[in-house]
Structure 1
Amino acid sequence: MQRRQVFTAGLAGAAAALVPPVRAAEIAADPASRPAFVLVHGAWHGGWSWSRVAARLRAAGHAVHTPTLTGLGERRHLLSPQVNLDTHIADVVNLLECEELQNVVLVGHSYGGIVISGAADRARDRLRQLVFLDALLLDSGKSLFSDFPEAVVQQRLKTIRETGAGVGAAPALPPSAFGVKDAADAAWVQRRMTPQPVGTYLQPLQLRAPLGNGLPKTYIECTTEPIATLEPTKARVRADAGWRTRTLATGHDAMVIAPGPLSDMLLSEIAV
């Protein structure tokens, strides 16, 4: 049965303290039982965006990986017309394989939800569960642009043509578009965002199994100033009893705006 909860934990206290006593005892007795976290960022972002959450999860005793997808962040020098959705799915699958990770909680934010959907289809045996943070979902055979309003698609394509720096990339939106209002946070995000490869918008997602590949799935909805293009995804999740749903009273970039409550929520999910 679908469960919907509102999470209201504050920033106080170490993240490790929020692991339920039974689970904490299990982890203490068998460190190998601690799941690893792989945190996948959204469009225009990079692994840097997870730094505040990663620190809290590591303090709770978990291995944490925050890959930056090809062509973005510190890997922006790899931006090219050849970078597409498959490239980013391969980034995550290759990380799982090369680091020989098992028992992984795979988290995808925004566009990263599409990426982890593809990774789960290809590397299910390495995963424990999936968490979609205010993320997009696609059916197999559809691209990111497939479900965007036509006006949004045309505006994005026009902007890419005019400012794509010759490699076909969408310039980043301002931090305020992601709910980042604090001046220091906004400046921190603005300095780090990089253009998004257009191939990630245009290439369809190809899945061999149903979305999630049979893994437990949680959707965390950020409820402050919700993004209109996410509403079809959220309606789909709310109507499907196969999802565990949570809400977080923060803006879209929850890992920047509310790293404490988000970390607590992620830790609570592995105890379910």
Structure 2
Amino acid sequence: MVDFVLVAGARLGAWAWDDVVPRLRAAGHGVHPLTLSGLADKRGVPAGQRTHVQDIVDEVERHDLRDVVLVGHSYSGIPVGQAAQRIGDRLAHVVFVDSSVPADGEAFVSAWPDGGAQMRALIAENGGFWPVAPAAHFDGHGLTDEQIARITAGSTPHPGATLTEPAVLPRPLDELPATYILCLLAGAEPSGEVVELLAGGHWRLVEMDTGHWPMFSQPRELARIFLEAAAD
């Protein structure tokens, strides 16, 4: 048995994993979907990048979890990658679901066009938050109208400081035992950073023929990939 800690991407909370959690528990594993500070039911809690890293570490330590599979989707790959290095021998595997990956000294917005200047301006204009996305943002990702409605209804503005504060990595990220899930409808090729990490020998690439939110569009297949990662 392993313990999965599931962290969804920007604007989402633990609820985003509702269709995945029962499949993992049915296989006999512990499952801990996590809402990061400032989001969903933790809305209003001040949060920066280091807060989100600590949220994940605290979840592992509070439950004294061992053989942990950390899962980070989209934005959350950045705090998950950092937390994975902090939990030491409790870690069994990391799964990055079509996610950003942390680089020491770099922020989430660093990879955006113009170095994130427009994103920083948008955050400033919205009281320090990245506003929720309109329904049209989810078109072309293999989602039904009902699934899009679930995502938009459950989304909350994302704390801007978590996107602009730099990551801190004491060791190379490619030393982690990791699986990277590439969702092909969101982009047919992994980023240059991910290609470099895959070349290190400790990471493997898995492709899914769906969009950026597979926990909604293909929860059964996503759970299967998680279980395979846990068995590595």
Q: Does 1:50 align with 2:50?
A: no
Identity over the aligned pairs, expressed in percent? 37
Structure 1 window deviating more from structure 2 (174-183 vs 218-227): it is 174-183
| Aligned CA distance change for structure 1 residues 249 and 52 (closer, same or farther; 3 Å) | same
**Cα distance in 2, alignment partners of residues 140 and 225 from structure 1:** 25
Amino acid at match of 2:219: P
Q: 2:40 maps to which residue?
A: 73
How is 1:57-206 mapped onto 2 (pairs within 5 angstroms)? 57-78=24-45, 80=46, 83-150=47-114, 153-164=116-127, 168-178=128-138, 179=141, 181-206=143-168
Q: Whose RCO is larger (CA < 8 A, sep 6+)?
A: 1
The 8 Å contact of residues 53 and 80 in structure 2, kept in 1 or not, is answered as yes
How is 1:19-30 mapped onto 2 (pairs within 5 angstroms)? none
Q: Does 1:222 align with 2:186?
A: no
CA shift, 1:91, in A, is: 0.3
TM-score normalized with structure 1 length = 0.79
The 8 Å contact of residues 130 and 216 in structure 1, kept in 2 or not, is answered as yes
The 8 Å contact of residues 221 and 246 in structure 1, kept in 2 or not, is answered as yes
TM-score normalized with structure 2 length = 0.92
**Cα distance in 1, alignment partners of residues 93 and 202 from structure 2:** 13
Please, what is the CA RMSD of the aligned residues? 2.0
The 8 Å contact of residues 221 and 234 in structure 1, kept in 2 or not, is answered as no
Larger Cα-atom Rg: 1
What is the SS of the residue equivalent to 2:43?
Answer: helix
**Cα distance in 2, alignment partners of residues 137 and 177 from structure 1:** 22
Q: Does 1:251 align with 2:218?
A: no
| Aligned CA distance change for structure 1 residues 174 and 115 (closer, same or farther; 3 Å) | same
Query: What 5-or-longer segments of structure 1 have no aligned partner?
Result: 1-33
| Aligned CA distance change for structure 1 residues 225 and 123 (closer, same or farther; 3 Å) | closer
The total of aligned residue pairs comes to 230
Amino acid at match of 1:135: S
| Aligned CA distance change for structure 1 residues 141 and 180 (closer, same or farther; 3 Å) | same
Query: What 5-or-longer segments of structure 2 have no aligned partner?
Result: none
CA shift, 1:132, in A, is: 0.7
CA shift, 1:234, in A, is: 3.8
The 8 Å contact of residues 227 and 252 in structure 1, kept in 2 or not, is answered as no
